Structure 1
Amino acid sequence: MSIRFLPFLLFFTFALSSCDVDQTQEGELPEVDVDVDTEPGQAPAYDVDWVDVEVNTTTRMVEVPNVTVEMVEEPVEVPVLDVEWPDEYGDAEETTFMVEADVDQEASLEIEEIYTTGNRMIVLARLDKDGQKLNDGQMMRVSDQVVVNAPDMDVRYYIVGDRPAGITNSRYRYISDRSEIADMMANGQSIYSRD
């Protein structure tokens, strides 16, 4: 480069660096009209490995009661009540009220009282387990029943005593003493008492 252009280049550099630039108009991109054929897109698919659950069986040693119930027919004195019901209760028919329990010792189960509250029958029994223990795994069934000519109504069974273990003993409600249901029986009338 020659030395003669040097003063010119210095002047041009000084002129550009000392200028003040102000924008006087906004810029904008040109509008473009594009006609494009497209195919619908597709979201990505993922293969997620989650918990696999398999159900199998295995054999384990578990203690279960070995219940041996031998049913034999024997003549038994069963109380039969012939109750005169008011007409509004409808027709009465012979109904057997029965309680039973499977126990692992000698025991007795007796229906002590039957009450009616007008729309419900309450059967109150007592389970006394004070006998000799049976051999391991053995159970015996004790029961009692009373036959009543009764109209169709709700029947509740209560047994005073400790509930013996076992699924068959879940049909009745076990209570510690009769005071637990005293309110329910207060407005009732006794139609049977063992005394």
Structure 2
Amino acid sequence: MKMRLLSIVALVALLASCDIKKTEKGEMPEVDVDVTTEAGELPEYDVDWMDVDVKTTTRMVEVPKLVVVMEEEEVEVPVLDIDMPGEKSERTLMVETEISGTDADLEIQEVRATKNKLYVIATLEKEDTDLDGKTIRKQDQIDINAPALDVEYIVVGERPDRVFNNNNKYVASMNDLSATVKEARVIYSD
């Protein structure tokens, strides 16, 4: 009996911060000294613990909008076959940039190599075509058949203000290339 009474007291203390409405009268069990008990009846309660209202409101937020139209076309793609130690595999080196405002032309100009790294150097040249508030992706690619090497993509031109463009390194001109890149061997030139 003490255990039930303690359980009820603990339950009441736990629910003290709730909005509780008693819906039915309760009755404690009757206890006979012979440890014979009659079934009792606990009071019933409706507990409203929390009231939540879900509403909507109108706010100005930045929402990314991107319109990309990709069409497959058959084009001539340069393929570099590089002989050097290691097992060769064919893969595509693709430089991409995302632009808005005015259109621009992205074109791979050179691929340079050191013993363990390739540098893909592309130019990004602005054009006169207004994109009417649209954002587009430009890309150029070259295929290579060579051992696995690290690749760094360098774009010569003004970096467009888009998060996507953090994948490339941007420099203002070829003169701004690091000494390591300048000294690397040119293995492809457009």
Give TM-score scaled by structure 2 length. Answer: 0.65
How far 1:59 sits from its partner (Å)? 5.4
Q: Match of 2:121? A: 124
Q: Distance in 2 between matches of 1:133 and 1:96?
A: 30
Q: Which amino acid aligns with 1:110?
A: E
> Per the alignment, in what secondary structure is the counterpart of residue 131 of structure 2?
coil
Aligned CA-pair RMSD: 1.9
Q: Which amino acid aligns with 1:101?
A: T
- Over the matched positions of the two proteins, sequence identity in percent amounts to 42
Deviation per residue, 1:138-190 (Å, 9 max, x gap): 11221100001121121111001111122211111111112222411243211
How far 1:73 sits from its partner (Å)? 1.0
Residues 131-142 of structure 1 correspond to what in structure 2 (within 5 A)?
131-136=128-133, 138-142=134-138
Determine if contact 1:101/1:142 at 8 Å carries over to the other structure: yes
Deviation per residue, 1:126-148 (Å, 9 max, x gap): 00112212112x11221100001
Q: Which amino acid aligns with 1:69?
A: V
How far 1:65 sits from its partner (Å)? 4.7
Q: Match of 1:187? A: 183
Aligned residue among 147, 156, 174 for 2:170: 174
How far 1:123 sits from its partner (Å)? 0.7
Aligned residue among 93, 96, 106 for 2:89: 93
Please say which structure displays the higher CA radius of gyration: 1
Instruction: Kindly indicate which of the two structures has a greater share of residues assigned to strand.
Output: 2
Determine if contact 1:118/1:188 at 8 Å carries over to the other structure: no
Q: Which amino acid aligns with 2:89?
A: E
**Could you say if the C-alpha distance between residues 58 and 76 of structure 1 is closer, same or farther in structure 2, counting changes exceeding 3 Å?**
farther
**Could you say if the C-alpha distance between residues 144 and 152 of structure 1 is closer, same or farther in structure 2, counting changes exceeding 3 Å?**
same
Q: Match of 1:145? A: 141
**Could you say if the C-alpha distance between residues 83 and 66 of structure 1 is closer, same or farther in structure 2, counting changes exceeding 3 Å?**
same
Q: Which amino acid aligns with 1:94?
A: E
Q: Match of 2:66? A: 67
- For the pair 1:115 / 2:112, whether they are aligned, the reply is yes
Q: Match of 1:28? A: none
Q: Match of 2:79? A: 80
Q: Which amino acid aligns with 1:111?
A: I
How far 1:64 sits from its partner (Å)? 4.2
Q: Distance in 2 between matches of 1:95 and 1:59?
A: 48
How many residue pairs get matched? 134
Q: Which has the higher contact order (CA 8 A, sep 6+)?
A: 1
Give TM-score scaled by structure 1 length. Answer: 0.63
Q: Which amino acid aligns with 2:150?
A: D
User: What runs of 5+ residues in structure 1 fail to find an aligned partner?
Assistant: 1-56
How far 1:96 sits from its partner (Å)? 0.8
Q: Which amino acid aligns with 1:75?
A: E
Q: Distance in 1 between matches of 2:164 and 2:123?
A: 17
How far 1:120 sits from its partner (Å)? 0.9
Q: Which amino acid aligns with 1:106?
A: D
Q: Distance in 2 between matches of 1:118 and 1:182?
A: 16
